[in-house]
Amino acid sequence: MSSPHLSWRWCEWVTLIISGAAFLVAFLFLPETYLPILLDWKAKHLRRVSRTQKYVSNHAKSLSFPKRLQTVLPMPITFFSTEPVNVVLGGYLVLLYVLLFCFLSGFDYIFKQRYNLLDGLTGSYFASIATGSTVFTLCAPVFYTWARRATGRVLGASVKPELRL
């Protein structure tokens, strides 16, 4: 039911709380995997253990921030000018997202204005989308295992990326 004491801002607060909890879990429990940072940590450890300054990683010797910007900023332009397939696929994804969000914005008209649902219930139809996404995410490993068995692959063998399609 809809509560007169709760405003639309609570949607933002709930999102912030969930995102903050997920960030803390990731920050505390996920290991660092970026190789330049790992090599930098190793070089710092070796400098501390050997008490010499000869161990320096390439990451520590990297260019200054303006020089890195000068190197990195032209990359998207080069990427899009040399890879037309990515431009076409990117445009296709933009089209899909525009259609998806147009349909989702139409839900408000259909359920609130046409069927006269209360304000508190107009958001409940998104629960079916969330439920479907969650169920598929939980079932995806089972589907992958079935597809792998159906193609005659031996368990533990390397899988070509095309098999997942």
**Would you say 22 and 138 are in contact if contact means Cβ atoms under 8 Å apart?**
no
Residues of the chain where predicted confidence (pLDDT) is lower than 70? 1-2, 150-165
pLDDT for 97 equals 93
pLDDT for 158 equals 65
- The pTM assigned to this predicted structure is 0.45
Q: HSE on the CB side for 143, CA within 13 Å?
A: 9
**Would you say 159 and 150 are in contact if contact means Cβ atoms under 8 Å apart?**
no
Residues in the chain: 165
Sketch the domain layout of the chain as residue ranges.
125-165
Output the 3-class SS for 10-43: HHHHHHHHHHHHHHHHHHHHCCCCCHHHHHHHHH
